Amino acid sequence: MLDPKLLRENSKHLAERLATRGFSLDVAHFEILEKERRQLQIKTQDLQNKRNLSSKTIGEAKAKNQDVKTLLEEANTLNEELKTTEEQLTTIQNQLHELYLQIPNLPQTTVPLGTSEKENVTIRTVGTVPSFSFTPQDHVALGSKNNAMNFDLASKITGARFVVLQGQLARLQRALIQFMLDIHTKEHSYQEIYTPYIVHRDSLLGTGQLPKFEEDQFALKGEHPYYLLPTAEVSVTNVLRNEIIDAKKLPLKYVCHSPCFRSEAGSYGKDTRGMIRQHQFEKVELVQFCLPESSYELHEALTQHAEIILQRLALPYRVVALCTADLGFSAAKTYDLEVWLPSQNCYREISSCSNFEAFQARRMQARFRQGTNKPELLHTLNGSALAVGRTLVAIMENFQDADGHIHLPSALWSYMGGIKIIT
């Protein structure tokens, strides 16, 4: 959510900045609502004040055993007017709140302008793309050996866009999770955290998945409006919802492994083959809470933390700054990490590292306090480090040999019980 004050004072300017990311704000409509809200609020508060005073008078009169009949009649008339005014105010406040929830974050000033993902800017390219003396297979073909990666089996159990991993591939996925968690906890000093995989509406509202992206979520049937976790960003960021934390404790850094569930509505026909786009996948997520003045510095650092995983795994990748048009709803700035996939002969997203500034914190009322100052909104950051399923795919495809064996990067050997090659 944007700062309502800022929006009121600068609606035209903000509308221009929002337009760069393809969002059109109806300034006229907004200003009408705001004007109405303001008038109704003043009127309501005035009537409430009168009501409070009159009640006090009645109390005092009663204490002196005076007759309060006329006072009561006056109070009743006042209350009728107050009631309708309050209802009008509530209606308009709700309308405004709905509107606020629909407005995406402002792109930060360094975000490249663009009208489509084609205008994303590559910041750096790391590692060398492998060259093969044979035609490399994709992970689906590689994984079909011994049924180690089995999509038919998954669809028998559940349906399309799920996978069953068996044997050494299942182990490799587990090894990757451990490997990533170890690096972030030991080398980057993140606190490991385990959270529920089911969340309620308020959590999704807090991080910005709702109300706009309802169709991307898996909603659970039952008496509670529960959803499957689309990313640990949701559960971990909401740790500080409605909290005021001591500035001395900042930055707060969490790492969380979780499965992620996405309905992938609207992506029919996209990446239908293989493990790239699934309804369920594993991810290791980094989340940070920090002071506003340090969020951009920490955003760079967090991106580095994700990059280090790719480097240790010897995977070729590039870092891309998303342009205004490609920015996610809640993000002010995002770097995507894209890993090389030989079968597709291109780089594919494996991580997304974003600075949300105060956008999520305002929705969540996540604040900090410095000394005895007034509470202020935190800045939140997060990034995948990494998407585990896609990392598995990248390892299989980049490190295959002519026989279809996978030569594991040395960083994983100890996590695989000494296994260096998956045959």
Q: Which residues are catalytic?
A: 262, 277, 349, 352, 390
What tokens does 136 get?
């490399």
Stretch that binds RNA, among 43-51, 105-113, 141-149, 274-282 (CB under 7 A): 43-51
In single-letter form, the type of residue at position 26 comes to D
Give the H or E element holding residue 345.
none
Residue number with CB closer to RNA (63 or 346): 63
Residue number with CB closer to RNA (59 or 211): 59
Residue number with CB closer to RNA (73 or 192): 73
Q: Which of residues 361-380 bind RNA (CB under 7 A)?
A: 367, 371-372, 374-375
Q: Which of residues 298-317 bind RNA (CB under 7 A)?
A: none
Residue number with CB closer to RNA (49 or 102): 49
CB of 214 to RNA, least distance (A): 21
CB of 174 to RNA, least distance (A): 20
If binding is defined by CB under 7 A, does position 267 make contact with RNA? no
Q: Residue holding tokens 């409006």?
A: 225
Q: Among residues 110, 103, 109, which one has the least CA distance to residue 8? A: 103
Residue number with CB closer to RNA (72 or 421): 72
CB of 8 to RNA, least distance (A): 7
Residue number with CB closer to RNA (224 or 420): 224
If binding is defined by CB under 7 A, does position 293 make contact with RNA? no
If binding is defined by CB under 7 A, does position 97 make contact with RNA? no
Which of residues 16, 31, 46, 117 is near RNA by CB under 7 A? 46
- C-alpha 11/C-alpha 26 separation (Å) is 9
Burial of 374 (0-12, 13-18, 19+ CB in 10 A): exposed
Give the H or E element holding residue 151.
helix 151-157
Q: Among residues 394, 422, 318, 349, which one has the least CA distance to residue 138? A: 394
Stretch that binds RNA, among 40-48, 293-301, 337-345, 410-418 (CB under 7 A): 40-48
Distances (CA, A) of 10 to 119, 140, 356: 28, 52, 20
Which residues are within 8 A (CB) of 311 and not within 5 positions of it... i.e. 6 or more apart? 126, 127
Stretch that binds RNA, among 74-82, 281-289, 297-305, 316-324 (CB under 7 A): 74-82
Stretch that binds RNA, among 59-67, 102-110, 140-148, 250-258 (CB under 7 A): 59-67
If binding is defined by CB under 7 A, does position 154 make contact with RNA? no
Bridge partners of residue 336, in order along the sequence = 320, 352
DSSP state for residue 34 in the 8-state scheme: H
Number of residues that bind RNA (CB under 7 A): 32
CB burial of 88-123 (b: ≥16 within 10 Å; e: otherwise) equals: bbeebeeebeebbeebbbbbbeebbebeeeeebeee
What tokens does 249 get?
């404790």
Question: CA angle, 350 as apex, 344 and 353 as ends, to 5°?
Answer: 145
Which of residues 15, 23, 33, 48 is near RNA by CB under 7 A? 48
Category of 208 on φ-ψ map: left (φ > 0), alpha (ψ -120 to 50) or beta: left
Do residues 242 and 365 make contact, with C-beta atoms less than 8 angstroms apart? Answer: yes
Residue number with CB closer to RNA (59 or 167): 59
Which of residues 72, 123, 129, 265 is near RNA by CB under 7 A? 72
What are the φ and ψ backbone dihedral angles of 394, each rounded to 5 degrees? -65, -40
CB burial of 394-414 (b: ≥16 within 10 Å; e: otherwise) equals: bbbbbbbeeebebebeeebee
If binding is defined by CB under 7 A, does position 292 make contact with RNA? no
If binding is defined by CB under 7 A, does position 79 make contact with RNA? yes
Residue number with CB closer to RNA (54 or 88): 54
In single-letter form, the type of residue at position 46 comes to D
CB of 180 to RNA, least distance (A): 25
Q: Which of residues 181-240 bind RNA (CB under 7 A)?
A: 223-224
| Contacts to RNA by CB under 7 A | 4-5, 38, 41-42, 44-46, 48-49, 51-56, 58-60, 62, 72, 75-76, 79, 223-224, 244, 367, 371-372, 374-375
